[in-house]
Structures are given as C-alpha cells and as structure tokens.
Amino acid sequence: MAPTDTDPGTRPVVLDVFRFLPDAETEPRFQRYEIPYQDDHVVLDALNHVKNEVDATLSFRWACRMGVCGSCGMMVNGEPRLTCEVFVSEYYPEPIRIEPLAHFPVARDLVINMEDFMEKLPTVTPWLVPADPKPVEEGEFLQSPAQLAAYKRFSMCINCMLCYSACPVYGLDDTFMGPAALALAQRYNMDSRDGAKAERANVVTSHEGIWECTYVGDCTRVCPKEVDPAGAIQMAKLSYATDWVKSMLLPGANR
C-alpha cells in the first residue's frame, strides 16, 4: 500500500466488529474498536490486540495462526477469509468490518455453531475403504503419481467452512450437504485404492447432495487451500451420471 501524506501508522486501525452476547441481547450490533496500526498485523492479530488490551469480552476462535487449522474463518468486509491470512494493510486505513462466517448460526460474537457441518461430514464416508482389503503383512496399497494427482488437490481441505459461507445454495437451504463434504466424498471416490463409491451414492447423489449444487462456483474462489470444491462436485455429477447410464445399458455389470 502506498504511503499516505500523513505518517504511516499514525492513524488507528478501525475495526467494526459484529457483537452478539446471547445472555444479554437478542439482536446483534456492531462495535467499533480503534487500535494502533502495525504493518505486520493480520486481522487475527488485530482481534487479539482488542481482546488483550481493549475488550476482554470479545469472543472468537483461532488456534494455529498459520493457515492450517481452519479455526479462524470470519467474514472480512463481506468475504469469508482465514483471518490469520489477511493483512490489516490490505484495508488500512479504511475500516475493517468483521463478522462471523455467513450462513451459520451465531453462538456468540464471531463464534459460529459448526454442528451442522460436523454432522454432515461423516455421512459421506470421508475415509479410505479399501477396494481389495489385504492383511497388513502384505504391505501398502501402492499408487502411481497419476493416481495420486487425480485426487490430491481435493485432499487439501482443512474443514475451515469458508466454502459454506460463500455458497448461496447452503445459505438458502442448510439441508444441502455443501461444498467441503461433497468435495471430500469425491476425493475418496477418485482414490484408486478406494471401493466405497457406490455406498457414498446414497448421500452424495441424494437431493441434498451434488444435484442441489447449481455451480455458483464461489466456494472455489474463496478456498484458502485451492481445493476447488465446485470442480469436485461437477466431476462427481459426471461420474455418478456415467455410472447410471452404464447400469442402464449393461444391467448386472459391475460399475
């Protein structure tokens, strides 16, 4: 950012923070905090400064501070971001509006209730179910680089739920399985060692699954790990539709 006519850093960072205290209030409000500018601060640092120096009642989640744990996702000026990866300088000296992740119920201040996602995630069997199980003594299930590359991108998900906050389909109807869960299902479907694609179909191809996705594509745009959930869901649509056509043409044949 180009230096302003005044001394850089003399103007305060202005944070407009979403506050909701369920024991005291029925409606949320925005509270303004002004704190000293530091050019190496990310938004999460600014929030921690508020919590430590200004207002200890402010609640928010965070853990690793390095874009791996997926805990600190919030809406920063209307965009779902990992607050540990957004520099204050990106907005300074303009005010920064910080809200809890969109489309989720707010438990308190910037803390959302993630129960819905936590309940949905295991229903897509997001783990390896070996196609040909073998005893441990017989060694690993080997993969070629191409077989790894086929799904690797989709395996980078950190469950930060930014994609759910970007997805208007989920925002309008929270019965939708959502981007991350469906992308993880597809990640295992594309794994050469896995054999549970047909079992996942019950959930993945249900009305609440891939077919509810209208491909807005914003999940892919906001993903901090470049997982491309939207792409994964379209691949799943093609893959399951192809299976269905094959089962119509060749009844009784294996997948």
Report residue 227 as tokens. 């997982």
Asked if residue 36 binds another protein (CB under 8 A), the reply is: no
Binds another protein by CB under 8 A, chosen from 14, 68, 69, 106? 106
Q: Does 142 bind another protein (CB under 8 A)?
A: no
Q: Which of 61, 81, 187, 237 binds another protein (CB under 8 A)?
A: 237
* Alpha carbon distance 201, 214 (integer Å): 18
3-class DSSP state of 150: helix
Retrieve residue 204's tokens. 């993945």
- Go through 61-74 and write b for each residue having 16 or more CB atoms within 10 A of its CB, e for each that does not: bbeebeeebbbbbb
When asked if residue 20 is in the footprint of another protein (CB under 8 A), the reply is yes
Using the minimum distance from each CB to another protein, give the nearer residue, 41 or 61.
61
Cα(222)–Cα(166) distance, integer angstroms: 7
Q: Does 113 bind another protein (CB under 8 A)?
A: yes
Residue of 105, 128, 127, 124 lying closest to 179 (CA atoms) = 124
The footprint of another protein on this chain (CB under 8 A) covers a number of residues equal to 33
List contacts with another protein (CB under 8 A).
Answer: 20, 22-23, 27-28, 78, 102-103, 105-107, 113, 144-146, 149-150, 168, 171-172, 214-218, 221, 228, 230-231, 234-235, 237-238
